């Protein structure tokens, strides 16, 4: 079920109007956004809805994201910066520090975070894995 058909219709968004960009990259006018909000409030919380992300999302999750976005916009306008916005690099570094990585070939624990494609303890494991 789509939130509303016009939310994804980019041709209806006038170029001079204020728009809201959705997580899936599409834009909609503020009026369309509010209409979608009203419809979402009338749905059961666990109802799967299309049109917000690239995958179906529960109405409850979308309403939570919308509320957080409105609060963030109000705070930015007032000059208040929220912690999740200020420390995004710090949080990412902390997440990487806590993730335990293992060599794809031999299973040995790695000393530091490595992206998924380069999780090998030494070059010989890389060569053996890629054959």
Q: What is 81-105 written as a DSSP string?
A: --HHHHTHHHHHHHHHHH---B-TT
Phi, psi of 117 (to 5 degrees): -75, -15
Please give the Cα distance from 129 to 127 (Å, whole number).
5
Each residue's pLDDT tens digit, 32-71: 888 888 998 998 988 888 888 878 888 898 998 888 888 8
pTM of the model as a whole: 0.52
Enumerate the domain spans of the chain. 5-83, 88-130
Query: Are the CB atoms for 72 and 50 separated by under 8 Å?
Result: no
Please give the Cα distance from 77 to 33 (Å, whole number).
19
Instruction: Read off the DSSP letter of residue 14.
Output: -
Residue 48 pairs in a beta bridge with 58
Each residue's pLDDT tens digit, 95-105: 666 677 889 88
């Amino acid at each position: 079920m789509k939130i509303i058909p016009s939310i994804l219709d980019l041709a209806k968004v006038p170029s001079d109007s204020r728009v809201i960009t959705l997580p899936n990259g599409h834009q909609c006018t503020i009026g369309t956004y509010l209409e979608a909000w009203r419809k979402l409030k009338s749905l059961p919380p666990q109802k799967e809805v299309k049109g917000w992300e690239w995958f179906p999302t529960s109405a409850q999750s979308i309403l939570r994201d919308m509320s957080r976005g409105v609060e963030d916009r109000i705070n930015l306008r007032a000059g208040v910066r929220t912690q999740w916005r200020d420390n995004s690099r710090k949080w990412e570094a902390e997440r990487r520090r806590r993730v335990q990585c293992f060599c794809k070939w031999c299973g040995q624990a790695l000393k530091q975070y490595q992206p998924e494609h380069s999780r090998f303890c030494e070059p010989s494991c890389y060569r053996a894995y890629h054959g």
